[in-house]
């Protein structure tokens, strides 16, 4: 166990390496994954930006490299594919030499409908996207995290942050798939946290409320001002959340400060 002096937490993530899934953010906006990738890199972390949309992942990597803190690469991968996830992890490790942080950010609203209406084939696809993808990424990422063995691993060898939603805590969404899958992310996180603690791998999740990201904008067909205002009204502070709010929470949970 380190002594009191050396147990002082540091904010810097220099020397650490992260994979952020869904880091592409649909165009030029700031989604939760892009914000997390940028903020991790701002703390000095090197980041592999994974997205199924190669151009969007590339854009995030360019933004990071232009800022000149941590370095970034873009990797095109579909997180529902075991082969793609394996390749993404191995390319990240090949480029940066290690892996410390995994941010499982990909998630979709998925198929609409109540239990009476929902299409079961689309239900399975949505569950694979919102839950199974997190396990698939972890399968490849955890063995790499377990190899970390330097003095920087005194408190943590790896850190996984899953992105759930307030819908996963409270239900209350018009569809069945989204709150069900996001609720499952909570217990997935609890179970994984207990399984991997012995390897000094921490597993946490964030449950964002209504944040204005490209996903919300696109699905709303371009959300109008009135709709944005009514979402903001749901918050006690009467403010609309942004991708940055989620990114900051991810960075905190990923780091020494949340050890």
What is the set of active-site residues? 178
Q: State the minimum distance, in angstroms, from the CB of residue 239 to ligand NAD.
A: 13
Q: State the minimum distance, in angstroms, from the CB of residue 15 to ligand NAD.
A: 27
Which residues, 128 to 147, sit near ligand NAD by CB under 6 A?
129
Q: State the minimum distance, in angstroms, from the CB of residue 186 to ligand NAD.
A: 12
> Is there binding between residue 215 and ligand NAD (CB under 6 A)?
yes
Count helices and strands (H / E) in the chain: 10, 8
Closer Cβ to ligand NAD, 99 or 215, answer by number: 215
- Going residue by residue from 91 to 130, which x/- string records binding to ligand NAD, judged by CB under 6 A? --------------xxx---------------------x-
Calculate the CA 77 to chain-centre distance: 15
Give dist(CA 58, CA 39) in Å, integer: 16
Of 15, 42, 65, 78, the residue at the interface with ligand NAD (CB under 6 A) is: 78
Q: How many residues does the chain have?
A: 259
Size of the site for ligand NAD (CB under 6 A): 29
Give dist(CA 19, CA 2) in Å, integer: 28
Closer Cβ to ligand NAD, 25 or 159, answer by number: 25
* C-beta of residue 173 within 8 angstroms of C-beta of residue 182: no
Q: State the minimum distance, in angstroms, from the CB of residue 26 to ligand NAD.
A: 5
Calculate the CA 66 to chain-centre distance: 22
> Is there binding between residue 210 and ligand NAD (CB under 6 A)?
yes
CB neighbour class for 225 (10 Å; exposed up to 12, middle 13-18, buried from 19): exposed
Closer Cβ to ligand NAD, 14 or 139, answer by number: 139
> Is there binding between residue 216 and ligand NAD (CB under 6 A)?
yes
> Is there binding between residue 213 and ligand NAD (CB under 6 A)?
yes
- Going residue by residue from 20 to 59, which x/- string records binding to ligand NAD, judged by CB under 6 A? -xx-xxx----xxx-----------------xxx--x---
CA dihedral 101, 187, 25, 93 (to 10 degrees): 20
The strand pair at 17-21 and 46-51 is best described as: parallel
Q: Is the dihedral of CA 77, 81, 86, 87 positive or negative?
A: negative
E-strand ranges in the chain read 17-21, 46-51, 72-76, 101-104, 158-163, 201-206, 211-212, 241-242
Which stretches of the chain bind ligand NAD, using CB under 6 A? 21-22, 24-26, 31-33, 51-53, 56, 78-80, 105-107, 129, 163, 165, 208, 210-211, 213-216, 243
């Amino acid at each position: 166990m380190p002594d009191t002096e050396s147990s002082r937490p540091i904010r810097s993530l220099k020397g650490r390496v992260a994979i952020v899934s869904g880091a592409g953010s649909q165009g030029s906006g700031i989604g939760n994954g892009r914000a997390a990738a940028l903020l991790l890199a701002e703390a000095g972390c090197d980041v592999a930006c994974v997205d199924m949309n190669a151009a969007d992942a590339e854009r995030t990597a360019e933004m990071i490299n232009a800022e000149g803190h941590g370095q970034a690469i873009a990797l095109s991968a579909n997180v529902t594919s075991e082969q793609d996830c394996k390749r993404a992890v191995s390319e990240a490790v090949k480029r940066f030499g290690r892996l410390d942080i995994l941010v499982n950010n990909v998630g979709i609203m998925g198929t609409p409908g109540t239990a009476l209406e929902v299409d079961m084939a689309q239900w399975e696809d949505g569950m694979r996207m919102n839950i199974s993808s997190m396990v698939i990424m972890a399968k490849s990422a955890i063995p790499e995290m377990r190899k970390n063995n330097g003095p920087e691993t005194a408190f943590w060898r790896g850190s996984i942050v899953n992105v759930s939603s307030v819908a996963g805590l409270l239900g209350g969404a018009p569809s069945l798939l989204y709150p069900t899958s996001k609720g499952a992310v909570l217990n997935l996180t609890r179970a994984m946290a207990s399984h991997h603690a012995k390897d000094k791998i921490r597993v946490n999740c964030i449950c964002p409320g209504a944040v204005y990201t490209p996903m919300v904008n696109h699905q709303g067909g371009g959300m109008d001002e009135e709709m944005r205002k009514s979402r903001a009204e749901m918050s006690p502070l009467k403010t609309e959340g942004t991708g940055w709010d989620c990114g900051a929470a991810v960075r905190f949970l990923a780091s020494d400060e949340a050890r």
